């Protein structure tokens, strides 16, 4: 059982139950399957798809776990999610097959898990499979002892031997036989794997010592290491498949802005790579050229062919990165894409109560990308005489640019394209937008991809932060109102009624599962962003309460880090600490940043728990990994740069502060905390001792020591942009 299972996964989903189709008296009768399993009572779209499998699936819970103990059977845990293509391939090939299901039902207690509902379990068992096989992915199929300890697993298993791996039936028989005949070996393997997971979770137990990683030298090393993997032709980092890596892009922008004088060559290279990456994604098929919004990743180096699923968190993080880029360079195309993406999210991913859904499927009518792709004839029939120019601009051809159809993409930007054809670029842009609106209208009549309509706390908090950033960058008041309405939804539907404790997921008016570290970390971050764009200190105090709860329920005092699960959660074999910034930032990196920010805004007295010291300890413990492997620790790297440069403390006082507040929020000031008040107050350290001056006064401070006030955003920016001493 040592064969490695390495398989690339291609997310898409179609999670409605399979139906029985019968011809009766020339009529087609569509009937739902009559037999359902224990998943029928679940709310997850992914689990509900499997509710009519002949496999006797159980959700993760006491019933299934106790059944395994009572019957002394191994547990098969199969983990996937709604946007996972190979999950559904394996379902069609194996889990819907009666003969295969009979083997599974006889020898195993079978549990299905939606990784987005239970990321804690996914993290644990993914670690086990990666330790056994050297790779991972989804579907994740793991065999456990009745006590829940993993002893064997892999990702996708084919119905017959293929891809240099055994068939699923063969695997089932071999595991069942081994469990019967070599139980002592199984138990030993399970103990070893569990010990490995526990040991790999023990980082940070040694104090980081006196070494301070927050230096210009280390900040520069981060950039050099990022640029080593940069694709300088097509943008992004590494080879296909290519993910957005927004944390790396944001870091490069912030470094370039700060070090443009002291290290101009490297700053220029950093900025160019960041802009190139955003530009190529915006021009590529990963971006929906007519509907807005980004797919999860591209399968090729040119960003042409995505797996077409659209995830809420990707769009939130890309909006944030685009806001930074727009504030830095004022490229109008970035502003347009922010608006287009926000329009997409509100149009297609928003619940009526202002919560946001998790994802859209890649498939419709059983075909990946069918909703989003075009034939040239379709475009010609819809656009008529305008089609030729439109097709040329968006690479729509007779042969197609992907699987005999065309994914809309821009091979040459608007102004060079117009110049080569002696066209007015403004008129051309207007024409293209009108044509795209026409195609979008026609596309809306197609059979839509399905929606994963669960609402997740953490992902909603990320989109909330993106909405706040979008208001700051564009000045559109509707984005600030959206952030406020969404936060009202978050605090209402995820509340447990037990202090600051919250739930992780909500659907059909039911909230479930205790929230995880990511949920709370992203929520505190969103509350701090709301405080900054509104100056309402109520949001700041709520962020403080959330942070205090996280420290009490998730904190590991010995190291300063945080566990992924709360102290009261008893159905996991290990309380893991997640530190990698992957598709989403790690809860630990976000909490480290939150604590640093709260310490500046509230003061870091001993009674506050030494939040700044805790943040710095976490950061310095991670320092070596951050500088060597920044693509895996991009959000941590940003905190390292912040501590290297210091934070601009900005106070605004006086009647009419709202005007200069909005100007300041629209400017590119990467590292800042901001408070504003109409009247002098001693309630907050940053606002104390700043009397009314008849007009809005702006103070720039460090460690609450402030320079003489200025009275315009322009003058504030001049103060901030003075080269830091020692750079």
Judge residue 348's burial from the number of C-beta atoms within 10 Å of its C-beta, 0-12 exposed, 13-18 middle, 19 or more buried. middle
E strands, 134-188, in order:
140-144, 150-154
Residues 6+ apart with CB under 8 A from 78: 95, 110, 111, 112, 113, 139, 140, 141, 142
β-pairing verdict for 363-364 and 367-368: antiparallel
Residue 97 has pLDDT above 50, yes or no: yes
Task: Give dist(CA 721, CA 710) in Å, integer.
Answer: 14
**Token digits of residue 333:** 């195309």
CB 585 within 8 A of CB 633: no
The residue that leads in pLDDT, 292 or 724, is 292
Residue 609's pLDDT is 61
Residue 678's pLDDT is 92
Task: Give dist(CA 537, CA 559) in Å, integer.
Answer: 31
Helix/strand/coil (H, E, C) string of 99-139? Answer: HHHHHHHHHCEEEEEECCCCHHHHHHHHHHHHHHHCCCCCC
| Number of Cβ atoms within 10 Å of the Cβ of 551 | 17
Residue among 178, 121, 170 nearest 149 (CA): 121
pLDDT bin (cut points 50, 70, 90) of residue 15 is very low
Residue 691's pLDDT is 85
DSSP-based three-state secondary structure for 356: strand
**Token digits of residue 86:** 């190979």
pLDDT bin (cut points 50, 70, 90) of residue 157 is very high
Residue 688's pLDDT is 92
Residue 208's pLDDT is 56
Residue 26's pLDDT is 38
Residue 200's pLDDT is 87
Nearest 5°: CA angle at 359, between 305 and 440? 60
Residue 210's pLDDT is 64
What number is the average pLDDT over the span 270-296? 98
Kindly tell me the sign of the dihedral angle through the C-alpha atoms of 503, 504, 507, 512. negative
Rounded to the nearest 10 degrees, the angle between the axes of helix 183-200 and helix 119-133 is: 110
Residue 52 has pLDDT above 50, yes or no: yes
Instruction: Tell me the H-state helices in 603-709.
Output: 611-628, 634-645, 657-666
Please provide the average confidence, as pLDDT, over all residues in the chain.
Answer: 92
Residue 318's pLDDT is 98
Task: Give dist(CA 134, CA 6) in Å, integer.
Answer: 8
Q: What is the DSSP string of 188-250?
A: HHHHHHHHHHHHHT-TT-S--TT----SHHHHHHHHHHHHHTB-TTT-SBSSSSB---HHHHH
Give the least confident one: 6-20, 73-87, 479-493: 6-20
Residue 206's pLDDT is 56
Query: In this predicted model, what pLDDT tens digit does every residue of 104-115 receive, in sequence order?
Result: 999 999 999 999
Give the least confident one: 144-148, 159-163, 477-481, 674-678: 159-163
Rounded to the nearest 10 degrees, the angle between the axes of helix 183-200 and helix 168-181 is: 100
Give the neighbor-by-neighbor strand order of the sheet with 510-514: 455-456, 503-507, 510-514
Residue 303 has pLDDT above 70, yes or no: yes
Residue 164's pLDDT is 82
Residue 631's pLDDT is 96
Residue 85's pLDDT is 78
Give the least confident one: 354-368, 599-613, 687-701: 599-613
**Residue 689: which H helix or E strand, with range?**
none
Residue 204's pLDDT is 67
Residue 608's pLDDT is 52
Residue 692's pLDDT is 82
**Residue 471: which H helix or E strand, with range?**
helix 457-474
Distance, C-alpha 371 to centroid of its chain? 23
Task: Give dist(CA 658, CA 664) in Å, integer.
Answer: 10
pLDDT bin (cut points 50, 70, 90) of residue 203 is confident
What number is the average pLDDT over the span 388-410? 98
Residue 125 has pLDDT above 60, yes or no: yes
Residue 390's pLDDT is 98
Task: Give dist(CA 622, CA 633) in Å, integer.
Answer: 9
Judge residue 329's burial from the number of C-beta atoms within 10 Å of its C-beta, 0-12 exposed, 13-18 middle, 19 or more buried. middle
pLDDT bin (cut points 50, 70, 90) of residue 272 is very high
**Token digits of residue 603:** 């003061």
Task: Give dist(CA 575, CA 566) in Å, integer.
Answer: 8
pLDDT bin (cut points 50, 70, 90) of residue 135 is confident
**Token digits of residue 669:** 């000031």
């Amino acid at each position: 059982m040592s064969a490695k299972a390495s398989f690339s996964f291609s997310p898409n989903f179609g999670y409605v139950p399979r139906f029985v189709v019968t011809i009766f008296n020339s009529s087609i009768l569509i009937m739902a399957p009559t037999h359902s399993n224990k998943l029928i009572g679940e709310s997850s779209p992914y689990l509900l798809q499997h509710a009519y499998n002949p496999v006797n699936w159980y959700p993760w819970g006491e019933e299934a776990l106790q059944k395994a103990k009572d019957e002394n059977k191994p547990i098969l845990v199969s983990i996937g999610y709604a946007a996972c293509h190979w999950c559904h391939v394996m379902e069609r090939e194996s889990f819907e097959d009666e003969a295969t299901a009979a083997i599974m039902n006889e020898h195993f207690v079978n549990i299905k898990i939606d990784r987005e509902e239970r990321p804690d379990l996914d993290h644990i068992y993914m670690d086990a499979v990666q330790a056994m096989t050297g790779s991972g992915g989804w579907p994740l199929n793991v065999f456990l002892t009745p006590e829940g300890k993993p002893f064997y697993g892999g990702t996708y298993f084919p119905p017959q031997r293929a891809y240099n791996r055994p068939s699923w039936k063969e695997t089932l028989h071999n595991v069942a036989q081994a469990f019967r005949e070599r139980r002592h070996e199984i138990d030993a393997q399970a103990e070893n794997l569990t010990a490995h997971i526990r040991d790999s979770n023990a980082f940070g137990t040694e104090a980081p010592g006196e070494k301070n990683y927050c230096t210009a030298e280390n900040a520069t090393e981060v950039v050099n290491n990022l640029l080593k993997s940069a694709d300088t032709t097509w943008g992004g980092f590494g080879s296909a498949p290519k993910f957005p890596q927004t944390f790396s892009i944001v870091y490069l922008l912030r470094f370039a802005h700060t070090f443009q004088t002291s290290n101009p060559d490297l700053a220029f290279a950093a900025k160019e790579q960041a802009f190139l990456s955003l530009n190529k994604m915006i021009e590529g098929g990963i971006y929906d050229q007519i509907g807005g919004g980004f797919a999860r990743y591209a399968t090729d180096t040119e960003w042409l062919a995505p797996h077409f699923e659209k995830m809420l968190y990707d769009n939130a993080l890309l909006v944030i990165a685009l806001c930074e880029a727009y504030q830095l360079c004022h490229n109008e195309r970035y502003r347009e894409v922010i608006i287009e993406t926000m329009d997409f999210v509100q149009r297609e991913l928003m619940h009526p109560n202002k919560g946001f859904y998790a994802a859209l499927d890649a498939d419709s009518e059983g075909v990946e990308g069918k909703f989003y792709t075009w034939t040239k004839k379709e475009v010609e029939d819809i656009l008529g005489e305008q089609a030729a120019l439109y097709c040329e601009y968006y690479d729509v051809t007779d042969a197609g640019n992907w699987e005999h159809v065309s994914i809309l993409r821009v091979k040459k930007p608007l102004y060079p394209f117009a110049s080569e054809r002696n066209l007015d670029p403004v008129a051309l842009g207007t024409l293209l937008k009108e044509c795209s609106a026409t195609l979008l209208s026609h596309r809306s009549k197609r059979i839509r991809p399905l929606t994963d309509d669960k609402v997740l706390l953490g992902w909603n908090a990320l989109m909330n932060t993106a909405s706040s950033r979008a208001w700051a960058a564009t000045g559109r008041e509707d984005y600030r109102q959206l952030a406020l309405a969404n936060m009202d939804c978050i605090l209402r539907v995820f509340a447990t009624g037990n202090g600051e404790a919250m739930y992780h997921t909500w659907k059909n008016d039911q909230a479930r599962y205790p929230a995880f570290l990511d949920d709370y970390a992203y929520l505190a971050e969103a509350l701090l962003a709301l405080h900054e764009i509104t100056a309402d200190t109520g949001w700041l105090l709520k962020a403080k309460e959330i942070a205090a709860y996280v420290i009490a329920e998730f904190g590991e005092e010995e190291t300063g880090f945080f566990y992924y699960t709360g102290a009261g959660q008893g159905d996991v074999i290990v309380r893991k600490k997640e530190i990698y910034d992957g598709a989403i930032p790690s809860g630990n990196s976000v909490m480290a940043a939150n604590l640093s920010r709260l310490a500046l805004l509230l003061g870091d007295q001993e009674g506050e728990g030494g939040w700044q010291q805790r943040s710095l300890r976490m950061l310095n413990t991670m320092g070596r990994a951050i500088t060597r492997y920044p693509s895996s620790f991009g959000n941590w790297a940003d905190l390292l740069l912040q501590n290297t440069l210091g934070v601009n403390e900005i106070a605004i006082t006086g009647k009419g502060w709202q005007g200069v507040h909005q100007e300041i929020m629209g400017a590119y000031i990467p590292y800042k905390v901001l408070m504003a008040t109409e009247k002098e107050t001693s309630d907050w350290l940053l606002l104390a001792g700043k009397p009314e001056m008849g007009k809005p006064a702006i103070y720039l401070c460090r460690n609450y020591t402030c320079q003489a006030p200025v009275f315009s955003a322009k003058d504030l920016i001049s103060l901030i942009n003075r080269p830091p001493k020692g750079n």
